Structure 1
Amino acid sequence: MAFRPSLLLSAALITAVPAAFAQERTDFEQQAREIYRNVVEVRSARGHENVPEIVDYVVGELKAAGFTDEDIEVTDYDNDGEATQGLVVWYRSPDPQDKPIALLAHMDVVDALAEDWVREPYKLIEEEGYFFGRGTADNKYGVTSLVATFIRLKEEGFEPTRDLVMVLSGDEETGMVSTRAQANWVAEEVDPAFVLNADAGGLGLDDNGEPLDYGIQGAEKTYATFELTVTNPGGHSSAPRADNAIYELADALKKIEAYKFPVRYNDLTLASIEAAGRKRLDRLGNAQRAFAADPTDEDAIETLRANPATVGQIGTTCIATMLRAGHAENALPQSATATVNCRIFPGVGIEATEATLKDVVGNEDVQFELISDLVESPESGMREDVLAAVETALEARGVTDVDIIPHMSAGGTDGMHYRNLGYDTYGVGGAAAKQNDTFAHGLNERLLVSSFYDGLDHFYVILKELAGPDEG
């Protein structure tokens, strides 16, 4: 069923941990930090083929905690000529009472260049109240959370009432070859009741570090990338032609830049936008509340479209991300190509989006090619047991009076492939972050140190709630 605003729950954050306690970390916290350091410091980006190094390390930690070869499956994949791996770990129930739960995270990252960063990107650095490093947020914290929780539960002798299956992919940021294969394997071999994704969701904080709300991902936009190409006979640069491949392509891109896709919304996005607006008294908050009340409000639409954090919530977006053109500085270009990345609102469709772009460009000489192998996924209806488990996890870390808000991600995660196969999938990450504070995929990515430690119990509590014996 579709999410209804009336399903909002309450939960949230308490006071910060005293500074003195911050220096007195438990054995589990220290162990988790060491896992975090080891996975962050592996350059598991495309072109380096280092994902197997993370797999080897994680497998060693899991075996030391008591997982056996029968519980662990390492699979090799070819991502467009580059080797990567996936890892599946089965935490078995001695007497399963319910269908399994699958848990997702990804081990790869978008690459980072040391010369562009203030600090070394592939070294875990703790400064100014943050952990800095590529993947500290996306998604090495998710990997750390799941691996550390499995180890903790195993060492405690926890016996779940249903199987728990951790699935770590190796190329979520690129071809998603491992993700697709793993999703199909999970469907055939596990057939879970639902899927929990550590690569989405989390606790939102204001600029002062106070909690705003907890977002649970229940839907994702469709990821689609097109290449637009213009060709031309070219010639010598001293004899310019009236037509020019670069100028012609630039005209097409300027038309795409100016075009605004139709406004879209559903129950989930309206609830998310309305709840976010209730936390703000500024112009953006006013616009969010106005849009939730009336999605045709032009002033509200204009404000939401002008903000990078909200534009993706009210419709499809297509944006130019890469260019290549010409072959010599003294020759007219024989071809010019632009990469246009689209995030398509659920239900719109890829073919319809391409048709719209072609109409906007209005030039049959501009060739379109879909270069992404994409998946269109539906939204997941909210499960009461998952919502209740998240609420309990928040309360366990000291939280009250914060709405749990299902939302749609403008980006894409492994979860889309599981939704596409019919499995309700929920982004329920344990991290807390201020708006625009993680810099995922960008420079100087970071995660609050307090968020790292406060969120370590998150999946521990959730799994005990959803797969623990009834103690009543």
Structure 2
Amino acid sequence: MRSIAACLISVALTSALFAQPNQLPVADKALAREIFQQLIETNTTDSVGSTTVAADAMKKRLLDAGFAESDVVVMGPNDRKGNMVARYRGRAGSTLKPVLIIGHIDVVEAKRSDWTTDPFQFVEKDGYFYGRGTQDMKDSDAAVVESFIRMRREGFVPDRDIILALTADEEGGRSNGVDWLLKNHRDLIDGAFALNPDAGGPELEKGRAVSMGVEATEKLYADYRVTATNPGGHSSLPRPDNAIYHVADALGRLEKTPFPLEANEVTRVYFASVAKTEKGQLAEDLKAVSGTVPNAEAAQRLSKDPIYNSLLHTTCVATMMSAGHAPNALPGSAVANVNCRIFPGHSQEEIRQELIRIFADPTLKVQYVTNSGEVMEKGSDRKSMAPPPLDPVVFKPLEATVNSIWPGIPVIAEMETGASDSVYTMDAGIPSYGFSGMGVDRDDVRAHGRDERIRVVDFFAGVEFEYLYLKALTSQ
């Protein structure tokens, strides 16, 4: 693992493969925007949307661009959960295994009342594109589809096949597309390695790129159901064991009980690298948590920043709560959902037991909830994925492409603080790397939140990055 620092931080590689990139051609700019708008305005939420509609739309675009019918398919377990798999054919006779690109086209639920714009209307204003999926991750989906069309139009022949899988239910639901394809059609998406634009990417400070993050490992996702019950009764006769109070007290203890400070080789390299881009106390603190034993005082200061906090601890937070059946009756039950992002090395069951310890209330039931919504008495003992080998076939063209668009910024290994479909490809034995060209200001991360947006210039930079990188990757 010593090679993480050597291989990912250095940007001294020659960029001879590239001239400085020209401005994105007008026609390609228009096409990318059109595809992006079409994806944003297709509702792909689990509740009422359909990934099949979006998958069919992208299939039509590729067929119209000249791709063979046999190379673009839409399939899934039901009518609403379609996945598109497209194969860009490489050089005849090539013995190189394909490149696999995975990108989910489903999005998190969004309420119109929470937004200042319609979340399922593509809006351009004040230099930003607004809409659900503009950050997570229809921006990258549009960029890859546009790059496929652009390369096809130019007659580009890669040195191996490139497979694009646009998939369902990464954000929730019972039909995760990557998992389903691997179990039912592994031959269609088998690759030497997988690229996942749902992680990593340029980190911006007020529009200026300061680093390119590459997901080298990620946290483990878990939901837990916390339940209190009692006989209920008339509200004029309050009971001391009110179910709402039991759950609320437990959540209050959780809020005030941070999980232990932790580090691994990926986070240590990340903090050491970011320290070189900062100044003053922040730089000193970042350096202080990059050692074998992170400095606790520095970590406490850094933890005031949600991003740094999530890189230093397992995090668990209450996200949903329901209770009661009438305004004039005591609740017979109260239920809360606690969402955890688990530091590598710990399992879902281990964290369930830790929640029980923190809550310190034997009357509460704490159960694990699977991605499909099934409630289990215990969580899995499976732990987070180990970092994949750092393949120079992936990283040399990455460093050169980054240097051609954002000269001089470091390429830095990072731990994904959320979760991504890389867990499925990694479990299937396909090394997986997370990065895209879509930059977002570190203080403007709105994925899963209201008024999700991406700066217009950053979207088009990401489109150009995808095109240049795919060509460099498959021209070695």
Fold-level match, TM-score > 0.5? yes
Q: 1:236 to 1:74 in 2, by over 3 A?
A: same
Once the two structures are TM-superposed, the CA of residue 185 in structure 1 deviates from its matched residue by: 4.8
Q: Residue in 2 aligned with 1:15?
A: none
Once the two structures are TM-superposed, the CA of residue 395 in structure 1 deviates from its matched residue by: 3.0
Once the two structures are TM-superposed, the CA of residue 28 in structure 1 deviates from its matched residue by: 1.4
Once the two structures are TM-superposed, the CA of residue 111 in structure 1 deviates from its matched residue by: 2.3
Q: In structure 2, how many angstroms separate the alpha carbons of the residues matched to 1:421 and 1:179?
A: 10
Once the two structures are TM-superposed, the CA of residue 186 in structure 1 deviates from its matched residue by: 6.2
Work out whether 1:119 is the aligned partner of 2:126.
no
Q: 1:368 aligns with which of 362, 366, 369?
A: 366
Q: 1:136 to 1:11 in 2, by over 3 A?
A: farther
Identify which range, 29-38 or 185-194, moves more after superposition: 185-194
Work out whether 1:440 is the aligned partner of 2:447.
yes
Work out whether 1:48 is the aligned partner of 2:48.
yes
Work out whether 1:395 is the aligned partner of 2:403.
yes
Q: In structure 2, how many angstroms separate the alpha carbons of the residues matched to 1:282 and 1:325?
A: 48
Q: Residue in 1 aligned with 2:61?
A: 61
Q: Which runs of 5+ in 1 are unaligned?
A: 13-20
Q: How does 1:312-351 map to 2 (within 5 A)?
A: 312-351=310-349
Q: 1:461 aligns with which of 461, 464, 468?
A: 468
Work out whether 1:310 is the aligned partner of 2:308.
yes
RMSD: 2.1
Work out whether 1:85 is the aligned partner of 2:71.
no
Q: How does 1:58-457 map to 2 (within 5 A)?
A: 58-78=58-78, 83-93=80-90, 94-175=92-173, 177-185=176-184, 187-207=186-206, 209-293=207-291, 295-373=293-371, 376-397=384-405, 399-457=406-464
Q: Which runs of 5+ in 2 are unaligned?
A: 14-21, 372-379
Q: In structure 2, how many angstroms separate the alpha carbons of the residues matched to 1:44 and 1:142?
A: 16
Q: Which amino acid aligns with 2:101?
A: L
Once the two structures are TM-superposed, the CA of residue 283 in structure 1 deviates from its matched residue by: 3.8
1:180-225 superposed Cα distances (whole Å, 9 cap, x missing partner): 1123356455431110012122111212x22211101111100000
Q: In structure 2, how many angstroms separate the alpha carbons of the residues matched to 1:271 and 1:306?
A: 21
What secondary structure does 2:48 align onto?
A: coil
Q: Residue in 1 aligned with 2:374?
A: none
Q: Residue in 2 aligned with 1:36?
A: 36
Count of equivalent residues = 455
Once the two structures are TM-superposed, the CA of residue 294 in structure 1 deviates from its matched residue by: 5.6
Once the two structures are TM-superposed, the CA of residue 408 in structure 1 deviates from its matched residue by: 0.7
Q: Residue in 2 aligned with 1:17?
A: none
Contact 1:89 1:167 in 2 (8 A): yes
Q: Residue in 1 aligned with 2:376?
A: none
Contact 2:403 2:409 in 1 (8 A): no
Q: Which amino acid aligns with 2:131?
A: G
Once the two structures are TM-superposed, the CA of residue 466 in structure 1 deviates from its matched residue by: 2.3
Contact 1:97 1:161 in 2 (8 A): no
Q: 1:128 to 1:77 in 2, by over 3 A?
A: same
Contact 1:2 1:381 in 2 (8 A): no
Q: 1:452 to 1:99 in 2, by over 3 A?
A: same
Q: In structure 2, how many angstroms separate the alpha carbons of the residues matched to 1:91 and 1:294?
A: 45
Q: Percent identity between the aligned chains?
A: 33
TM-score (norm 2): 0.90
What secondary structure does 1:241 align onto?
A: coil
Once the two structures are TM-superposed, the CA of residue 174 in structure 1 deviates from its matched residue by: 0.9
Contact 2:140 2:463 in 1 (8 A): no
